[in-house]
Structure formats: structure tokens, C-alpha cells
Amino acid sequence: MRKFGIILLGIGIIQMIGQIISSIQGKRFDNEFFITSCGILTLGIIFYVSGNYLKNKAKKKAKTYKEIGWGKVIMWLFIIMLGIATLGRVIMSVSENSFNEQVKKANQSCPISTAGGTGQITSIAIKDSMVIYNIDYDANVINLDRLEENSDNYKRIIILSSYLLNGQNNNGDRFMKIILDNHYGIAFKVQSNNGKEFTISANISELKALLHEAEKYPTEAMKEVLEWQIKDSQYTLPIKLDDDMTLVAILCDSTSLIYRVVIEEPLTISDFKDTNTSMNRGAILRELYCEPSSKANLDMCAIGNFNLVYRYVDEMNVDSCDIIFWHSEISDIVKIPKSLNFR
């Protein structure tokens, strides 16, 4: 048994020294390797101490203590090393699936674009019984005073949209459920580049009620999010999209989300009518889905059961052209979280 102990101690010490050197050199700390090294060292000590005890016991009884042969040592060493490695992987797997590790992984995905590309989640962390999101907005686009004045509505909207729009790097719905399942509340520390900041929070009961609402009635919840965003966007309109195009209004009727764009010369409505006839609709939708602000629009349309309409109007408001992306086309591109009770 002492042979086992000496060999295991030697292997464990070498692995531990290697881990220390790697850490000093600034390399990533390998938790699995560290757990394995500790296991080997522990077993080495147990075998060596047990071997010494049995040897001393044999001496007291005037008996000969016989060490195990090298062949068996190597065989059992292989079995033990394999077992330790397997145990290390199991422990790491459990650790990586812990709530703290899930939050760390979500934080590593930051910054995450939000609010159609006008803001970003810069960090996610745990403090006390809350998961804290730090969100930065562009003050030129988002008025934080207005959000703070309507903080209760904003809280509803940001939680609903985070869940419905799959905000956490395409895992928003899952991550929100993990927060709730681990009995944490959620808080949003909101700030802008002009120094303005405020914090809103939802305890476990509030979060549970909102997620239940979003899961059971996703279309209705998405319409609420959409109505809020349309109302909020009115403060920033009109927006110059190009030298000859200006976004003047965002509207929502019972079937469609409508962007009203006024065009100027040299563009003509005929140009858009020709484009509407010849364009590859699927390719354009896929391209739009790769751009943050357009992706947010398509997500909202898919869940809210809306068509997406770009309504181009000439300066004199005489002629117009609607380029319509139907809900069925959008649903082919946008992945809706399976957890939602989408109808």
C-alpha cells in the first residue's frame, strides 16, 4: 500500500506544481485538473499512512509485512486514476450547472444588445437575493427621465421583453426561468452616457407573476411591449434614415406593425414598386434579422402575430407603396421560444 501512496503523492505533487506554474503564467485555472490533483494527493496520503500503520503493526507482532507487487500496483493505479478523473468530471458538471455558474456564463456573453440596438446589457451579477442587470442606453435616443417617471410600466416591459424576445444570447426565456427556479428576484440598474441612472427591481412574487403572464399569453404580452415601444419612439421621430428617406411615424393596427417613410427625389415610388415585385423576400428577411434593430422588430412581429409593413410615401403624400412581410414569412425566419404558449 505504501507503493501506491508514494506513486500517487508524486503524481499529485507534480500536477499541483504544474497548476501553480500555469496560474503564475496567467493561464486559465483548470478546476477539473485541480480537483483531480487534490483527489490523487488525498488518496496518496491515505495509502501511505495506512501502509505504514500495517507495517508497524506487523513488526509489533513479529510478522513480515509484504508489499503488493508492481504489476498489481500499476493495475490498481490505472483503475484509481480513471475513477478520480471520472469523479472530477462529475463534480465539474454539477458545478457548471449551478446557478452561480449560469450567471457567470450569462455575464460572459455581455455586452448584449437591447432596445433595438440603442442600449446594451453590460454585466449580470448576483447581489444578496437579486440578479442585477447593468444596462447602458444612448441618451440621444432613450430618455431615462421618461423611463424613471414610468418605472412600474418600464419594469413590466423590460421583464416581458427579456423573456419573450429571448434576450440572453438566444437563451433569455430559459435564463429568466432559472432565476425564478432558484428563488431570486431581479433588478435593473439603468444608466445612460450623460450620467443619469436609476434602479428598478422585482421580487420573486412579481417576477413569477410576470413570467406566468408572458408564458400563458405571449401574443397579448408582446402587444403590450410593442405599444410601449411605439409610444416611446414618438419622442425621437422624425429620424433621417438616409439623404432621401425619413422615418416619420411608427404605427400599429390589429394586424401590422407599420413604418411610414417619406422619400425625396431622386427616389420615386415607382422604384419601390419595382423592388417589391422583383426582390428575394426570404433573403431580405434573413439580412434584416442579422441587424439588431430590425431583428427586434421581426421578433416582436413573430410573437405578437403581426405583419411588418414598410410604407413609403412621396413628399406630396400623393403616391405610396407598401412593402409587406407577412407574419407567415417572418415565422419561417424567427425562432419563437418553445416555452411560450404561442397560438
pLDDT at 237 over 70: yes
pLDDT at 11 over 90: no
What residue type is assigned to position 285 of the chain?
L
CB half-sphere exposure, 311, CA atoms < 13 A: 16
Looking at residue 156, what is its pLDDT?
85
Nearest to 262 by CA among 309, 307, 319: 319
Grid coordinates given for 68: 503488493
Q: Is the dihedral of CA 223, 226, 232, 233 positive or negative?
A: negative
In sign, the C-alpha dihedral spanning 324, 328, 332, 335 is: positive
User: C-alpha angle 249/169/109, rounded to 5°?
Assistant: 120
pLDDT tens-digit series, residues 176-218? 778 888 888 999 898 887 888 889 899 989 888 888 887 777 7
Alpha-carbon span 136 to 122, nearest angstrom: 7
Exposed (0-12), middle (13-18) or buried (19+): which is 28, by Cβ within 10 Å? exposed
- CA–CA dist 267, 274 (Å, integer): 12
Answer with the residue of higher pLDDT: 219 or 107. Answer: 107
pLDDT in tens, 25-72: 655 555 656 666 776 677 667 777 776 777 777 777 767 666 655 555
Answer for the pair 320, 311: CB distance below 8 angstroms, yes or no: yes
pLDDT per residue as tens digits for the range 261-309: 999 888 888 888 888 777 888 888 888 888 766 777 788 888 788 899 9
- Burial class from Cβ neighbours inside 10 Å (0-12, 13-18, 19+) for residue 202 reads buried
- The average pLDDT across 313-336 equals 87
Amino acid at 332: D
Q: Mean pLDDT over all residues of the chain?
A: 77
- Residue 96: per-residue pLDDT: 45
